[in-house]
Amino acid sequence: MKNIIFTIAFLTAIASAPQVFGQTNTSTPETSNIETSQTTRLVPRLKASNEGDVNFSAGIGLGFGSFPVSANLDYTFKHNISAGVTASYFKFAGLLLDSGYSVLTIGARGSYHFGNLLPIPKELDLYGGFAISYRMALYDDIYGISPFNGVSLGLHAGARYYLTESIALYSELGNNTYVQTGVSFKF
């Protein structure tokens, strides 16, 4: 619960940073003004998520009584839509002797990036989407049952904050973990 509250507070602080430091953007989300000595012209304003971007994210999360590791690879298409693959792994040690399980999840995901709809800093990429995954479980106890095998559907919402043009910190809620955070690289 503390991690969820911390993540929400972190995302709120990032989103409000321009207003706190007096940096307001009066241009439209699609353009920004460039002043020259003779004229003012409009040029495209690049957002954190642009057509043709490839993002690789790797992180650690909190979920299912464990700390899952996860990785995502996404390609951004036109109209702020991205699609890609996702994978996660976690191991849970049970309370009884010789019990526990490990789960590997592999799937496909799609996201919508809200950068052109919201007045947010260009370094911030807010997104939400869905995933369809296959979960493979290995159950280690006296019963030997694997109740988690099968297809699962999930929703996710997240944010990336770009420290440079190609390196970002990210946090995400949903899909294979309750909350995860990590590093994202844009190619």
Tell me: the pLDDT tens digits for 109-135?
999 999 888 888 989 999 999 999 998
How much is the pLDDT for 20? 37
- If residue 167 lies in a helix (H) or strand (E), which one and from where to where? strand 167-174
CATH of the domain at 136: 2.40.160.20
How much is the pLDDT for 14? 44
**What's the domain count of the chain?**
1
Average pLDDT, the chain: 76
Output the CA torsion sign for 163, 62, 60, 79.
negative
pTM of the complete model:
0.69
DSSP 3-state of 11: helix
* Of residues 125, 185, 117, the one with CA closest to residue 161: 125
Q: Are 98 and 104 in contact (CB under 8 A)?
A: no
Domain of residue 86: give its range.
48-186
Q: What is the mean pLDDT of each run of 10 residues along the chain (187 residues)?
A: 44 42 43 44 54 93 82 91 94 68 90 89 94 85 66 93 95 84 95
